[in-house]
A and B are shown apart, each in its own frame.
Chain A
């Protein structure tokens, strides 16, 4: 069922995501479509809050699949991302099974024979029973496939990238003691990055590279429309226009789509019919997250409102 949905067309992807409240640009839809068709992960880059993580959620919801999320951070290693041996359980079992071991080895006449017999049982302790699967292994083990979100890969260390390479290219993991675990159904993999550091070429070349920037005005209006249903068309245009003006400033942190949506919600809550200097100044802290940014933007507010209103007339 899911496969059928996926193999449709770029338009189908677009409308499928739209049904989940995710308004995708053509680039995004093309990327999602291609990633299904040629079974490649998508590496999504772009500023914070433009909907990178949302994209993964929307795909999962649309295709009715489970989403497994791996949040990356400094020092993340294979024990936390892939699998870990349950050491304590292994040791505990050895203790509990002491007597049993005695029984098993009782038959051996020499130390050598005992050792041989022990070898046969050694593998028991390095079996699936004692493996704790972490997100990456879990993703491979989902029988119906899943959406695997590897969030903020740029926060992890360079070594961790190398660990991902096998999964990203072949959808499999090699556990030295157990052998290779291949995916039952290849997961849809989305990696996100804020470009805090450059990722390795090997990783990049295994992925489709999608850059989501700030959306165009029309697209952003549609996004607001789908996310904040109660908003009037005039206000929507005006506020999106205003935000586009704000983005032209040199700020520490430009407001992104998530801020736009928050702001729209706030404005609806305050029952604003249209923007005026008063209400904008009161709610500017929803858009801008630094005191310095607010100070820089405040004097411009009136001009921006006027500009947004004008573009409203002509646009």
Chain B
């Protein structure tokens, strides 16, 4: 049973529930208290000790049901009684039933697997498959591409080699029996394939997901395929949530520090220095102010889509964010991002200024004209764009003034460094006025960049 629990923990990990060794020890202790007899209580106990959120509880509950619907390798073999067998014989197809009752019986000299298949003892076969999957360590399966190799490993463990020899021999001596055996083998292959699929469902979910996320994380945002966009959005939202978790709370941290001895003594001078009132030091912290300028022109539309999504969540972390979107002219989008759901906001912004050909110069003129006063010496300005201005005047002088008025100017460019300065890219000219210039083409780079920006205010 211990062995079984360990396999369950592995299955739980596959289902995306993080089971650390310490948690598995807790679970074992809990199971020791409640025992195995009542499955409902066992389920409760495992859910209580292993799952740490409602989502995990659901996943683990499914996993539990799936896991305990599987035949248990060691228990089944002694239970394979004739009674059960007879009832199963009854609902088998008449032809195969007739064949097995024709009195031939499995001839001597065949290997155990052939014997088992010919006698059509389903319980024995199921038990053999289960123990062979144990031997082939099916619980190590991680990716769907491994299906084939695990199927053949299990079949080998069950003695496929011997069965092949038997088949060759029978084809010569007893063709009809060979035919039956071949049909049974096909059935066996199917059963093993099913077992492997179930194993994959049990043990491999998380790995496959992690792998997919990892690939997605490092994929260039601009070249995400249509079918991946939804997944990418989910990933960005996950990143945003992580940023929020990390940065939203400490901002509100208690500001009381140590006892301020000097002020305490001074305040109590009236009582001859007997300290009736205490005074405390306060911690000073910058209030974060962020101004984000986001290029939503055709060339970077997809990246800016994700970037806006991230800014949307930034609005929740930082009180004072103002966001602007531009392609040929610039508008403020803070309110849209704050009031609407990400999807609606994105659609509205794109319909207002999106997809045009970019004109950095006139957009910067718009910004200077209407919003220059929003910049203070505490402001971090983030610009997201490829700095391709269609050979129009880049107005780098405005960017210089922006840089002078603010604390930091960060430029995130979705293009690779190699492309900067070639064609109509004005990046080198702008870069001189930026505090930081970063390539920002993948979700991971986006996360790091935004994380760094928020972190300086902590």
Please, could you name 7 A-B residue pairs with CB atoms under 8 Å apart, sorted by A?
A10-B34, A88-B278, A158-B249, A208-B49, A209-B48, A209-B57, A211-B57
Which of the residues B51, B253, B256 comes within 8 Å of A209, measured between beta carbons?
Answer: B51
Contact: A205 with B20, CB < 8 Å? yes
Contact A87 B259 (CB under 8 A): yes
Residues of A within 8 A of B245 (CB): 197-198
> Roughly how many angstroms separate A210 CA and B53 CA in the complex, as a whole number?
9
Contact B259 A38 (CB under 8 A): no
Give 6 new A-B contacts, CB below 8 A, not counting A209-B48, A209-B57.
Answer: A37-B29, A45-B53, A91-B264, A158-B249, A158-B250, A208-B49
Q: Smallest CB–CB gap between A116 and chain B, Å? A: 24
Q: Which residues of B contact A27 (CB under 8 A)?
A: 44, 47-48
| Min CB gap B61→A, angstroms | 11
Task: Determine if B30 and A157 form an interchain contact, defined as CB atoms under 8 angstroms apart.
Answer: no
Contact flags B241-273 to A (C-beta < 8 A → 1, else 0): 000010011101110100100001000000011
CA distance A315 to B317 in the complex (A): 49
Residues on A lying within 8 angstroms of B by beta carbon are 10, 26-27, 30-31, 33-34, 37-38, 40, 45, 74-77, 87-88, 91-92, 95, 157-159, 195, 197-198, 201, 204-205, 208-211
Q: Which residues on A sit within 8 Å (CB–CB) of B57?
A: 209, 211
**A to B contact number (C-beta, < 8 Å):** 92
Shortest distance from the beta carbon of B300 to any chain A beta carbon, whole Å: 32
Q: Report chain A residues within 8 Å CB of B250.
A: 157-159
Residues of B within 8 A of A77 (CB): 254, 256
Closest to A26 in B: B44
Across the interface, which residues of B come within 8 angstroms of A87, CB to CB? 259, 275, 278
Q: Are the C-beta atoms of B52 and A209 separated by less than 8 Å?
A: yes
Q: Is A92 touching B274 in the complex (CB atoms < 8 A)?
A: yes
CB-contact partner of B249 in A37, A157, A204, under 8 A: A157
* Interface pair B254/A40, CB less than 8 Å apart: no
Q: Which residues of B contact A (CB under 8 A)?
A: 18, 20, 22-23, 26, 29-30, 33-34, 40-41, 44-45, 47-49, 51-54, 57, 245, 248-250, 252-254, 256, 259, 264, 272-278
CB distance from B67 to the nearest CB of A (A): 19
Q: How far is the CA of A34 from the CA of B35 in the complex (A)?
A: 12
The prevalent SS among residues of A at the interface is: helix
Task: Decide if B33 touches A75 in the complex (CB within 8 Å).
Answer: no
Flag if A88 contacts B276 (CB, 8 Å).
Answer: yes
Question: Which chain B residue has the least Cβ–Cβ distance from A198?
Answer: B245
Among all A-B residue pairs, the 10 with the closest Cβ atoms: A91-B275, A204-B52, A75-B254, A30-B44, A37-B33, A208-B48, A38-B29, A95-B274, A77-B254, A209-B52
When C-beta atoms are compared, the residue in chain A nearest to B58 turns out to be A211
Do A157 and B52 touch across chains, with their CB atoms under 8 A apart? no
Contacts of A91 in B (CB 8 A): 264, 274-275
In the complex, what residues of A have CB within 8 A of residue B30's CB? 34, 37-38
Which residues from B are CB-within-8-Å of A74?
A: 252
Chain A residues within 8 Å of B20, by CB = 205
| Chain A residues with CB under 8 A of B276 | 88, 92
* Complex contacts, A197 vs chain B, CB 8 Å: 245, 248-249
Closest B residue by C-beta to A37: B33
In the assembled complex, how far is the CB of residue A215 from the closest CB belonging to chain B, in whole angstroms? 15
How far, in whole Å, are A75 and B57 apart by their CA atoms in the complex?
Answer: 31
Q: How far is the CB of B27 from chain A (nearest CB, A)?
A: 10
Indicate if the CB atoms of A95 and B254 lie closer than 8 Å: no
CB neighbours (8 Å) of B33 from chain A are 33-34, 37-38
**A10 CA to B44 CA, complexed, in Å:** 12
B249 / chain A contacts, CB cutoff of 8 Å: 157-158, 197
How distant is the Cα of A37 from the Cα of B30 in the complex, in angstroms?
8
By the criterion CB–CB under 8 Å, are A92 and B48 in contact?
no
Q: Which residues of A contact B29 (CB under 8 A)?
A: 37-38
Given contacts A30-B34, A38-B26, contact A205 B52 (CB under 8 A): yes
With A87-B275, A205-B20 already in contact, the answer to whether A10 and B54 are too (CB < 8 A) is no
Cα–Cα distance between A159 and B254 once the two chains are bound (Å): 10
* Given A88-B275, A91-B275, A201 and B52 contact (CB-CB distance below 8 Å): yes
Q: Known contacts being A30-B34, A30-B44, is A209 close to B274, with CB within 8 Å?
A: no
Q: Which residues of A contact B272 (CB under 8 A)?
A: 95
Cα A38 to Cα B26 in complex, Å, equals: 8
- Report the Cα distance A198→B245, complex, angstroms: 8
Query: Chain A contacts of B40 at CB under 8 A?
Result: 26
B148 → A minimal CB distance (Å): 37
A90 and chain B: residue at smallest CB distance? B275
Whole-angstrom CA separation of A91 from B20 in the bound complex: 48
